[in-house]
Structure 1
């Protein structure tokens, strides 16, 4: 891995924070690296909460959306809540259904089938709305490119409100309201909301119009936090505030479905990491292995027994998903080797029998071995469907735009996307994508990067220092757990390989004028000899707490080790 220090903040900013906050230079520098430059910004950063949420009416078309929903509620219109089948989409649908159901009985949900309808707003979904006399569709986490679908709905007398966060195309759908902070003409101050976050702003606006207190919004925050964690959006600004509030809700008063998932998993949620690795994969597994409706049923359950039954089924879906993605990942790696494509700038693989529900996970797995933009295809009806994942610093959405003539459709983000194409265009796409990427990707983007916040001496690590670092949470993309590097480390006791396959490394290290401190390096078992060198070594690590036999102590979580 390539070690890289974060850019050095201006010295005057660091000095000002040291003086105004009475913190150490290291803490001040960590804050400045995260864009915190003043006392007030630091106060807001350390105390995330309701007061820091933006006025929802700053979002373009919010007034139109609220007016249309109010009209529908007052007239008793049938409203269909439509969303994608991933965590962001199903959480959004569950949230909006819960809210609107508290104000009307004329509310229903629709999640498209991953296999027969595919991603986004489908004509089948609009036909369902027409057949069942729905006059308003609220689309969540999708719809920003649904030009033809919205026109098709309009022809049948159905209005659309779109709550999306994906990048718009050159033209917006002709909907009653298009809520998307990434619209070029939208001045909303925070651009990185997930789909559920945009839906939450609509609910906030509806409640604000009714002059209800913000506390009425608390029951929806567990879903917002789950969607934020699952969708890997930046944990900055409003997202960080919503996540902090959402984790409090999950810990103190979660909805039955989220409580049931924790019970069946045998673990509780208390951090972003728990949201990402415990809640999100299980909720996602429903849409991957069966149907997104199963996730909505879980998340909207009001009866604990029913929620536990749903959670048990979803636990099994998740186990099946793990086995399936592991098997396909191995097959894909074999395919790369058989075709002799280890040295390409991209990975593009295809098998008609691969499970469509896990190809996104497989793409991420392949990047762990071949660190480069990756596309995994499978058969989907008479078309090929693919999930796309990128590497840090490379805009895969922009690369796909240069292959647009070869695809039926595509959409997504800078680092993740989906697409469909005709089978006859597979080879042409594979070569075009390789050409586009190889001509534009930098050498740095082809090598995993380990971003370091600061050089630190072990003597600077203390319980007080760690207590302050904990207040940087919730951690996530763009607000990662601080990462440090230390030089001239030596073993206090012999290092040892641990774990069933001896793949982890257990260390006790010291520096001149420092007390020894324990550490663990997951996946670093092969560094045993290097760490045992008499000349010492340098290491990159974060700080964590180790709980053992009722005792709590600080420990280093090693990320990489190199010789001096």
Structure 2
């Protein structure tokens, strides 16, 4: 082995180890492209859905797409509208529920608004599987309904012409982790086949699929990894739609250097900000326009909304931390955290729940008042607790306590009466403790210690370009003991460090986000970290992104 090839061999060996730990024995299989996608044949409801859509297209009937107000719903809506138009639909429109007035999904209220547009068909995207009342309302108005969704169904399915959802009973589709936008893609693939329209390209719409999949934090199984990789490939080749190109631009990202984490931490939050604070129709318009100037103007509007979201989130998090500090000090923190303030914004409660879950290592649900006088909550859970099943169990033990709920194992939403909030908070804490105990979740996963010769910019770059990493296919998390050379809290929010490592001449740059405590200089600390690339100022340098650190007691 030559000296030149030695670093490459080291990187390849580490990558082989990381992928094997995630169930991938042959990394070459990760490069097969679209040929590796699961075929649509076993996805339940496709035959009925594509038959109905083909009929609607042939008759020139109006199709109204009803999406959701998050990034998955927005990308799925844009994909449905673009795809149906390409496949010959001449009268396609969309509608996004108002979070405060109409709530989530196919509600009776959104059906009433939809009826004013006089569609013959309603096609839901990323919602509808639990919308029994909304489906009945559509039926009563003579509207034909096709549901596409990926959320877990309840015991009774809604009345519809067709339901396409890989998680419905008896479905044999191999990937249960499709996002809402992924389900729409499969509907379009099957519809193209039914219409014998193989000349119509859908591959160049995969940028929308990649963005929605990453932003919705669905598990990145093999099928989803293909969808995300192919979408990223198109973005990096400069072939994204005008809206995504504009969102990348306002985020400071450029084609050729776009990774899954950019979608999750930069583009997704800007798109989600519209649904959280304003109207997600702004986001859908951004994804649908082919006018670059209009797309840039809309992306700047989304960027401004995201800055406002950050300010609201910071204020709410400070208030939540103050609430919980007393319980932490007294060692009385509940197994499941519930918080509510009447002035909190309903569009930000989900983000706050996620922050609290990460900070306190416990499931958290945060509530805010809705326009109808109820409380709407959004929850995030630790890996050991299925949040949707927990809410279902509470509903069974306490009939009528939860008015409505839905979601996944890791995230869920619900509605309760304001007067019932104290009772729900107690029931949630009891149910969580019954299922996983009262203590904090301990994350035992990890990828071990990197040796001096492995801890390189080359490995960090290879990891960044790999994956895509995310839920179900976690970004590599390493550990090690380092000496503290420098430590400073910057902007009262982040900890910046320089760390010494035995056998390494130069200290390592490290940063811990949302950390306000600094270790003493000269001390030793145990660190769990992600190996990353800092490209600030256009120059790439190695950086350890600290997940957590703790002091190491000096030896005898």
CA deviation string 1:3-31 (max 9, x = no partner): xxxxxxxxxxxxxxxxxx99966444322
- 1:188 pairs with one of 158, 169, 173: 173
CA deviation string 1:384-416 (max 9, x = no partner): 211112223112212211222211111111121
Taking a change above 3 Å as real, the CA distance of residues 439 and 218 of structure 1, as seen in their structure-2 partners, is same
The answer to whether the Cα contact below 8 Å between 2:432 and 2:438 also exists between their aligned partners in 1 is: no
How far 1:464 sits from its partner (Å)?
6.1
The answer to whether the Cα contact below 8 Å between 1:517 and 1:554 also exists between their aligned partners in 2 is: no
Taking a change above 3 Å as real, the CA distance of residues 547 and 126 of structure 1, as seen in their structure-2 partners, is closer
Distance 1:213 1:458 in 2: 52
The aligned residue for residue 264 of structure 2 is 276
- 1:240 pairs with one of 215, 225, 242: 225
The answer to whether the Cα contact below 8 Å between 2:259 and 2:464 also exists between their aligned partners in 1 is: no
The answer to whether the Cα contact below 8 Å between 1:92 and 1:199 also exists between their aligned partners in 2 is: yes
The answer to whether the Cα contact below 8 Å between 1:508 and 1:519 also exists between their aligned partners in 2 is: yes
Taking a change above 3 Å as real, the CA distance of residues 455 and 212 of structure 1, as seen in their structure-2 partners, is farther
Higher deviation after alignment, 420-429 or 70-79: 420-429
The answer to whether the Cα contact below 8 Å between 1:517 and 1:555 also exists between their aligned partners in 2 is: no
Q: Does 1:140 align with 2:125?
A: yes
The aligned residue for residue 90 of structure 1 is 74
How far 1:110 sits from its partner (Å)?
1.0
- 1:81 pairs with one of 58, 65, 68: 65
The TM-score normalised by the length of structure 2 is: 0.88
The aligned residue for residue 345 of structure 1 is 335
Distance 1:190 1:315 in 2: 33
How far 1:236 sits from its partner (Å)?
2.3
The aligned residue for residue 69 of structure 1 is 53
The aligned residue for residue 13 of structure 1 is none
The aligned residue for residue 279 of structure 2 is 291
Taking a change above 3 Å as real, the CA distance of residues 457 and 88 of structure 1, as seen in their structure-2 partners, is same
Distance 2:149 2:539 in 1: 46
Q: How many residues align?
A: 532
The aligned residue for residue 498 of structure 2 is 507
**Any gaps of 5 or more consecutive residues in structure 2?**
1-8
* Structure 1 segment 30-49 matched on structure 2, within 5 A: 30-37=18-25, 39=26, 42-45=27-30, 47-49=31-33
Taking a change above 3 Å as real, the CA distance of residues 438 and 234 of structure 1, as seen in their structure-2 partners, is same
The aligned residue for residue 443 of structure 2 is 449
* Structure 1 segment 358-377 matched on structure 2, within 5 A: 358-377=348-367
The answer to whether the Cα contact below 8 Å between 2:10 and 2:454 also exists between their aligned partners in 1 is: no
The aligned residue for residue 309 of structure 2 is 321
How far 1:194 sits from its partner (Å)?
0.6
Taking a change above 3 Å as real, the CA distance of residues 353 and 507 of structure 1, as seen in their structure-2 partners, is closer
How far 1:223 sits from its partner (Å)?
1.3
The aligned residue for residue 158 of structure 2 is 173
- 1:107 pairs with one of 92, 98, 102: 92
Distance 2:38 2:90 in 1: 30
The aligned residue for residue 333 of structure 1 is 321
Distance 2:326 2:499 in 1: 43
State the SS of the aligned residue for 2:89. Answer: coil
Q: Does 1:250 align with 2:240?
A: no
Taking a change above 3 Å as real, the CA distance of residues 504 and 70 of structure 1, as seen in their structure-2 partners, is same
The answer to whether the Cα contact below 8 Å between 1:459 and 1:515 also exists between their aligned partners in 2 is: no
How far 1:485 sits from its partner (Å)?
2.6
- 2:373 pairs with one of 364, 378, 382: 382
Taking a change above 3 Å as real, the CA distance of residues 213 and 33 of structure 1, as seen in their structure-2 partners, is farther
State the SS of the aligned residue for 1:216. Answer: coil
The aligned residue for residue 137 of structure 2 is 152
Distance 2:459 2:540 in 1: 15
Higher deviation after alignment, 473-482 or 403-412: 473-482
CA deviation string 1:500-543 (max 9, x = no partner): 4494243253334x5656231325674532x724xx55433332
How far 1:362 sits from its partner (Å)?
2.0
The aligned residue for residue 111 of structure 2 is 126
The TM-score normalised by the length of structure 1 is: 0.87
Q: Does 1:398 align with 2:389?
A: yes
State the SS of the aligned residue for 2:163. Answer: strand
* Structure 1 segment 365-514 matched on structure 2, within 5 A: 365-380=355-370, 381-404=372-395, 405=399, 406-442=401-437, 446-449=440-443, 451-461=445-455, 465=459, 469-470=463-464, 472-486=466-480, 489=482, 494-497=485-488, 499-501=490-492, 503-512=494-503
Taking a change above 3 Å as real, the CA distance of residues 525 and 495 of structure 1, as seen in their structure-2 partners, is farther
**Any gaps of 5 or more consecutive residues in structure 1?**
1-20
Higher deviation after alignment, 519-528 or 266-275: 519-528
Distance 1:185 1:313 in 2: 44
Distance 1:409 1:550 in 2: 49
CA deviation string 1:91-148 (max 9, x = no partner): 1111111111232221111111111110110223323343433121110100101223
Q: Does 1:265 align with 2:259?
A: no
How far 1:246 sits from its partner (Å)?
1.1
Higher deviation after alignment, 308-317 or 69-78: 308-317
